[in-house]
A = this chain, B = another copy of it.
Amino acid sequence: MKKNVRKDEIRNIAKRLFIENGVKATSVNEIVKEAGIAKGTFYIYYNCKDELIDEVFNEISIDFIKHMFVDIEHKNNVPKDEAVDHIVDRAVEGFEKNREFLEIMKNDISNNKEFKYKRNFIEQFKHKFESSVNISINEGVLDSDVTLYIIVDMFIGACYNAIILGTPYTIGEVKKNLKGIIHKVLK
């Protein structure tokens, strides 16, 4: 019990520091200092910083997926294009509210080594999408998870350019075109 509480504390502190300063700029030293624990204690819970990053991002991803599927996740016959539009709207709204999150997703993570959270995200997303829309994505809709992965990265990149850099197109234009692309890919 005590062990989990302390692990949660470390994760919450890391999450806040990641969002405030970025993942790369946040060291294990800073995290243990904020948590008021010895460095050795940190390594009881986590083998390395990457393992912690993975857990923090997994937590953020779960919240983000919940946010995207609000209103449709307990239905099971949502028309495919309607579900896509809903999810794109909610995802963009989520990124607009959490610019820091979008920024670290884009810069600190996707440019880096592979993290498990991304695979979990894709698994969970697929599961929720399939149950809301009542289809099987891998049967004739998408070639494979590789396509889903590429689409997720495309989505993050396009939102980053529009929301964070504000160039060359507005988020309104980007949103409309992302919907169009995804409708076609899911045909």
Residues on A close to B: CB < 8 A? Answer: 106-107, 110-114, 118-119, 143-144, 146-147, 149-151, 153-154, 157-158, 161, 165, 167-169, 173-174, 176-178, 180-181, 184-185, 187
CA A151 to CA B178, docked complex, whole Å = 10
One complex includes copies of this chain to the number of 2
Instruction: Check A177–B146 contact: CB distance below 8 A.
Output: yes
Return A35 CB to nearest CB of chain B, in Å: 31
Return A49 CB to nearest CB of chain B, in Å: 18
Instruction: Check A177–B111 contact: CB distance below 8 A.
Output: no
- Given A157-B157, A184-B185, A187-B187; A149-B167 close (CB under 8 Å): no
Considering residues A118, A161, A168, A178, which has the most beta carbons from chain B within 10 angstroms of its beta carbon?
A168
CA A112 to CA B164, docked complex, whole Å = 10
Instruction: Check A143–B180 contact: CB distance below 8 A.
Output: yes
- Given A157-B157, A187-B187; A181-B151 close (CB under 8 Å): yes
